[in-house]
Amino acid sequence: MEEKATQIRRLTALLDVSQALGSTLDLHVAMERVLEILDRELGMKRGSIALLEAGGDLSIQYAHGMSEGERQRGRYRVDEGITGKVVSSGKPIVVPQVSREPLFLNRTRRRTNGEESFICVPIKDRRKTIGALSILYPFRQNRQFEDELKLLAIVASMLAQGLRLAQMVEAEKAQLVDENTNLKRELQQKYDFRNIIGTSKEMREVYEQIAQVASTGTTILIRGESGTGKELVAHAIHYSSPRASKPFIKVNCAALPESLIESELFGHEKGAFTGALARKRGRFELAEGGTLFLDEIGDLSPALQVKLLRVLQEREFERVGGTETIRVNVRLIAATNVNLETAVQDGRFRSDLYYRLNVFSLYLPPMRERKTDILLLADHFLEKYSRQNGKRIKRISTPAIDMLMSYHWPGNVRELENVIERATLVCEGNVIHGYHLPPTLQTAEGSGTVTRTSLDHAVEAFERDLIMDALKTTRGNRARAARLLDTTERILGYKVKKYGIDCRRFRV
């Protein structure tokens, strides 16, 4: 009967050890719980877990029944003492009476009250010994150690699995930290305002303003037409600021329905409304310490304008359905393509919120005001989408450039990017020609000045484009241009005269 009770106690101990190792990812807590279970169920006096260090020595990492000083003194070379021999041989050792064993070094210098027995079993991971589990029992005459040895061998195997899992978790955590650090570094490099493309006078003024305001915590209002790059500038400000390592959270106020935007911005408590099954943190909380970018802020409802004004003034708010006041440290960057002054006059936008937002205003010029940047942007997008689509498109033809320069670009940079992406997809050669561009650029369809043309005129226009492109390639050399077009210099000269092409224009 007593033997059955002992077996049940040992099985219970193994179950408790398994639960202790599986209940937490904190290795220190798990190992201490295991040693406490062995103390409670097996009646040990002291226990320790020694592990191999990077240098090859053994040290007691986890202990029960020892002071911190005793634990730190527990260091061994492999093959030194009983613990070192167990690790070097990979076999357990039982010492019935430690006072009669010369290999028992007592490195911890623990004073004993009476005779003790000692069991040390190896901890093996994939047949490689990585440490040892040691247990001290009160000495008992004629004690049988076989059952304890089997039990501790099973516990040591479970410890090895726990250690391996902890190492995998730590390695994965370290990898995630490295990836996070690299991603933040890449984002800082990607959104550095020096990477924004444009050398026009208007854009140089924008760069100067970004440099002035980035290092501060000032609220910024970015104004400009749709597609001018307001979000890109907001990114550049954030990643050039002291808040660069903190979150950058963006919200498109126009994209969210009015019934949801309050919950998105401020969060909600469980049960605040139908479907609120759990507490949710809002964008203001998620952006703590960083930057919150509110795009299309001119579309906010009057009720939300009041709540946003309070956050800007007091830096505090309550979640929807909650009473707890939450304080936040967030920099706000707002953007709009709406004329807020007109909206204030019409009563669609609160004047007090407008003055709170308009502390530092940045105006992004439309493409029609920065024509000199069109070629730079077109070349950038051409390189980007050529690489993405696995093509080797090297340049844009002169007629195509003329078409890009003469277009009024109502969609601004976004429209230019889409045009170049489309041209890259349909281009089969290594040069973007005018016929690769959308119809709105090839004709006057987009501006409402569509004109009829005959087939002869269309052929002549195409022929003129080819001749101009060949002359540009040969820098105005008609003989080389003729060879390039598989024709004679005399015929080419006739065509140049017919179309009124000035060859000197290309001799640069």
pLDDT digit string (tens) for 284-331?
999 999 999 999 998 888 888 888 888 888 888 888 888 888 999 999
Mean pLDDT of 228-257: 90
Proportion of the chain above pLDDT 70, given as a percent:
93
Amino acid residing at 362: L
Distance CA 34, CA 47 (A): 10
- Average pLDDT on 44-57 reads 81
Q: Is residue 223 over pLDDT 90?
A: yes
Residue 5 pLDDT > 80, yes or no? Answer: no
**Could you read off the pLDDT of 407-425 as tens digits, one per residue?**
999 999 999 999 999 999 9
Angle at 227 between CA 221 and CA 231, to 5 degrees: 45
CA angle 379, 295, 441 (to 5 degrees): 35
CB atoms within 10 A of CB 270: 11
Q: Give the rounded percent of residues in the chain with a pLDDT score beyond 90.
A: 28
Strand partners of residue 320: 268
Residue 189: is its pLDDT beyond 70?
no
- 61: amino acid identity, one letter: Q
Confidence of residue 508 (pLDDT cuts 50, 70, 90): low
Both tokens of 213, joined, read 């305001």
User: Dihedral through CA 144, CA 145, CA 151, CA 152, nearest 10?
Assistant: 160
Amino acid 447: pLDDT? 42
In this predicted structure, the answer to whether residue 43 has a pLDDT above a threshold of 80 is: no
Report the pLDDT value the prediction gives residue 335, as an integer from 0 to 100.
Answer: 94
Q: Which residue has the higher pLDDT, 502 or 223?
A: 223
Nearest to 332 by CA among 362, 283, 292: 292
Over residues 438-460, the mean pLDDT reads 67
| Mean pLDDT within 104-120 | 73
pLDDT at residue 475 tops 70: yes
For the ranges 139-148, 282-291, 309-318, 352-361, which has the lowest average pLDDT? Answer: 139-148
Q: Which has the closest alpha carbon to 478: 494, 465, 461?
A: 494
Q: How far is CA 204 from CA 193, 196, 199, 207, 373, in A?
A: 11, 10, 6, 5, 11
Q: How far apart are CA 49 and CA 71, in angstroms?
A: 10
Mean pLDDT lowest for which of 25-29, 192-196, 414-418?
A: 192-196
Is the per-residue pLDDT at 178 higher than 50? yes
pLDDT above 60: residue 1: no
| Cα distance between residue 476 and residue 500, in whole Å | 14
What pLDDT sits at residue 409?
93
Ranges 177-191, 197-211, 275-289: which has the least confidence: 177-191
**pLDDT class of 234 with cuts at 50, 70, 90:** very high
pLDDT value at residue 366: 93
- Range of weakest confidence among 134-138, 184-188, 414-418, 455-459: 184-188
- Once rounded to an integer, what is the mean pLDDT over residues 40-52? 80
- pLDDT value at 449 more than 70: no
Q: What is the mean pLDDT of residues 198-218?
A: 90
User: What average pLDDT does range 104-131 have in this prediction?
Assistant: 78
Question: How much is the pLDDT for 448?
Answer: 47
pLDDT digits (tens, 9 = 90+) for 78-89: 877 888 888 888
Complete edge-to-edge strand list for the sheet that includes strand 116-125: 75-76, 58-64, 46-52, 128-138, 116-125, 93-95
pLDDT of res. 376: 92
The pLDDT value given to residue 419: 94
**Mean of pLDDT over the chain:** 84
For the chain, the C-alpha Rg in angstroms (whole number) is: 38
CB atoms within 10 A of CB 367: 23
Q: Is residue 51 predicted with pLDDT exceeding 80?
A: yes
More confident residue, 347 or 45: 347
CB neighbour class for 105 (10 Å; exposed up to 12, middle 13-18, buried from 19): middle
Token reading at 141: 């005459």
More confident position, 404 or 271:
404
- Asked if residue 243 lies in contact with residue 236, where contact means CB atoms within 8 angstroms, the answer is no
Residue 58, H or E segment: strand 58-64
Instruction: Provide the token pair at 267.
Output: 């969060």
pTM: 0.59
The set of residues, in sequence order, having a beta carbon less than 8 Å from that of 31 and lying 6+ positions away, is: 49, 61, 62, 159, 162
| For residue 188, pLDDT beyond 70 | no
